[in-house]
């Protein structure tokens, strides 16, 4: 007797296959990270300190970002979170808007975004759509969520989901995390209201 396969079984099998495919893609995305030399790390730390300076402008929500042109080493965009003005004004979006005001909507492929916290799904998606190929951050989402409301979707998951639309050249977390983690913990301890 031949058993008839129901629609639910087909859907369940499709979902399971998609899950395995996504998990495999995520594993590949995480294993492709290029090695970071001591000279590279020193450069990343230099720029992360500038992102921290941006974050210090809003201690109520210590997210700061800068954008660096890899060809020149110049900071070409800066941003600090300003959700009091607009709920979409996360530091990365503010930095991208600053970059556009200075340079127009072009040249994204030459840039690196530095942020004190791992980009949320909205910000990481904005960087994907713009084509910013390098992202460096301090505190990761799991840590930041202890102190600030945040959506629990990691940047690597957005990068994997954007394949083949987007090619990431660097997704590096934990740069000066001892300093950025402290900023988020102090924010919570201070009782300052987020802005």
- The fraction of the chain above a pLDDT of 90, given in percent, is 73
pLDDT band at 33 (very low <50, low <70, confident <90, very high): low
Alpha carbons 99 and 93: distance in angstroms, whole number: 10
Q: What is the pLDDT of residue 102?
A: 98
Average pLDDT of the chain, as a whole number:
86
| 3-class DSSP state of 155 | helix
Q: Report whether the peptide linkage leading into residue 174 is cis, meaning its omega lies within 30 degrees of zero.
A: no
pLDDT band at 152 (very low <50, low <70, confident <90, very high): very high
Q: Look at the chain and count its residues.
A: 195
Q: Which of 129, 132, 134, 126 is nearest to 109 (CA)?
A: 132
Alpha carbons 78 and 115: distance in angstroms, whole number: 10
Which residues, at least 6 apart from 107, have a Cβ–Cβ distance to it below 8 Å?
Answer: 69
pLDDT above 80: residue 190 = no
Across residues 112-132, what is the average pLDDT? Answer: 98
Encoded tokens for 100: 């556009």
Q: What is the pLDDT of residue 188?
A: 74
pLDDT above 70: residue 28 = no
Using an 8 Å Cβ cutoff, are 124 and 96 in contact? no
pLDDT above 60: residue 26 = no
pLDDT above 60: residue 71 = yes
123-138 pLDDT tens trace = 999 999 999 999 999 9
Pick the more confident residue, 10 or 113: 113
Encoded tokens for 75: 């900071």
Pick the more confident residue, 113 or 5: 113
Across residues 41-66, what is the average pLDDT? Answer: 95
Q: How many other CB atoms are there within 10 angstroms of residue 93's CB atom?
A: 21
| 3-class DSSP state of 16 | helix
Q: What is the pLDDT of residue 195?
A: 53
| Its pTM surpasses 0.95 | no
Across residues 48-71, what is the average pLDDT? Answer: 95
Using an 8 Å Cβ cutoff, are 69 and 180 in contact? no
């Amino acid at each position: 007797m031949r058993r008839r396969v129901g629609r639910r079984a087909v859907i369940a099998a499709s979902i399971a296959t998609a899950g395995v495919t996504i998990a495999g893609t995520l594993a590949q995305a995480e294993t492709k990270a290029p090695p970071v030399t001591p000279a590279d790390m020193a450069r990343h730390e230099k720029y992360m300190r500038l992102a921290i300076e941006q974050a210090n402008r809003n201690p109520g929500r210590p997210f700061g970002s800068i954008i660096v042109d890899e060809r020149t080493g110049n900071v070409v965009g800066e941003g600090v979170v300003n959700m009091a003005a607009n709920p979409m004004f996360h530091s990365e979006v503010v930095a991208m808007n600053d970059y556009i005001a200075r340079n127009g909507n072009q040249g994204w492929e030459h840039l690196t975004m530095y942020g004190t916290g791992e980009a949320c799904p909205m910000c990481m998606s904005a960087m994907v759509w713009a084509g910013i190929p390098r992202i460096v951050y301090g505190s990761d989402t799991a840590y930041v969520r202890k102190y600030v409301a945040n959506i629990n979707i990691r940047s690597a998951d957005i990068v994997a989901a954007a394949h083949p639309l987007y090619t990431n050249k660097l997704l590096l977390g934990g740069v000066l995390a001892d300093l950025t983690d402290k900023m988020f913990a102090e924010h919570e301890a201070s009782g300052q209201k987020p802005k």
